[in-house]
Amino acid sequence: MKATINDVAKRAGVSMKTVSRVLNKEPNVAVTTRARVLQIAQELNYTPNFAARGLASSKSYLLALMYDDPGPTYIMEIQSGAIDVCREHGYHLVLEPVKVPKSGLAGPLIEDLEARLKRLPVDGVILTPPLSDSQIVLDVLTRLKIKYVRVGPSKNLQAIRDKETGLTVFMDDRQAAFDMTEALIKTGHKELGFIQGHPDHGSSYLRLEGFQAAINKYGLIVPTSRIVQGDYTFRSGIAAANALLSGSNTRPSAIFASNDDMAAGVVSVANRLGINVPAELSVCGFDDTPLTRKMSPQLSSVCQPIYEMGHMAAKLLLSRGDENLPSVQAVDYKLIFRGSTGRYLKDV
């Protein structure tokens, strides 16, 4: 039933090694030979044995995607992008959920990670936020000499070691937040509010920085009471919106939430308070999750090309050498304007 390399070799009248060369696209094979082998392999419906290859070459033909709950949509997109590249290279993707302990005690995590990576020695790891910023994880990977690519990291950890094994794919969160803020300002908003993301995610700080940079550029002033801490959840968006909208102070004319879930919270509070969005309040989010299109008005947001990032991440891991890719890749973002933002009527 299942043909081996030996079968192909015999039938083609060459050695197993030559067949192996053809199958692995190694150089130094005569074109005629290559063609013949390929032909025979096809006829015999031959497919290489995964385990045998791995054993002989001490490679696993496996990439791992490590994540610690950055939201299902995000993971799925990264997955899709990565899988498509894996396919092209005859690789497969395995999933490794990782639970980084909130506080201290890295010991168990380290042991667990090492155990898993030894058992299944993948050829590369894709790290998604917040793992891409976890020094603990990076250390383990470095120690085990496993190649990794950090997706959307924010901190500049391990700058030196990165040059050895670390690759990076990122989006300029700061600039994106800057652009979105600027867009808000240019449509007439002067009284802006901002909701910050989870303190553990580096992106929170970058987005805040971008916001503030735009504020400064236009000489506006945002009191600290207008910058509220959230944690990327819908609930925290509600809480933040309450603080921002129902205080006795004048309320902002636009609120920029660091992600879509929180922005949804803002819209929901505005609805409850009878504040019309966007006529009386503009709201925008970040990430352009499907949620943006499942609310009314639909939410303006910053679109991260997450699929692309997954794609690029896997590509970096698998194409080293083939092409000459720089080890740090930036991907483009896009501002998406929907119904939740508009000109601030009162003021303009």
Given the rule CB under 7 A, which residues bind DNA? 2, 4-6, 13-18, 20-21, 23-24, 27-30, 32-34, 48-49, 52-53, 55-58
- Binding characters for a copy of itself, 288-327, by CB under 8 A (x = yes): --xx-xxxx-------------------------------
Identify residues 190-209 at the interface with a copy of itself (CB under 8 A).
none
**For residue 285, how many other CB atoms are within 10 A of its CB?**
32
**For a copy of itself, which is the closer residue by CB, 62 or 213?**
62
290: number of CA atoms within 13 Å, CB side? 6
**Start-to-end CA span in the chain (Å):** 76
**For a copy of itself, which is the closer residue by CB, 50 or 218?**
50
Choosing among a copy of itself, DNA, none, which partner's interface includes residue 18 (Cβ < 5 to 8 Å by kind)?
DNA
* Strands 334-336 and 301-303, sheet pairing: antiparallel
Which residues, 6 or more positions from 133, have their beta carbon under 8 angstroms from its beta carbon? 150, 153, 154, 155, 157, 201, 202
Give the shortest CB-95-to-a copy of itself separation in angstroms: 5
State the Cα torsion 197-236-109-62 to the nearest 10°. Answer: -70
Q: Which stretch binds a copy of itself (CB under 8 A): 86-94, 129-137, 211-219, 329-337?
A: 86-94
The alpha helices in 200-339, defined as continuous H runs, are: 202-217, 234-245, 260-273, 306-319
89 binds a copy of itself (CB under 8 A): no
**Interface pick for a copy of itself out of 95, 221, 279, 345 (rule CB under 8 A):** 95
Question: Which of 121, 124, 143, 134 lies closest to 58 in space, CA to CA?
Answer: 121
d(CA 78, CA 314): 9
Q: Can you give the binding site for a copy of itself, defined by CB under 8 A?
A: 2, 47-55, 58, 60, 62, 72-73, 75-77, 79-80, 83, 90, 92-95, 97, 115, 118-121, 234, 261, 264-265, 268, 271-272, 290-291, 293-296
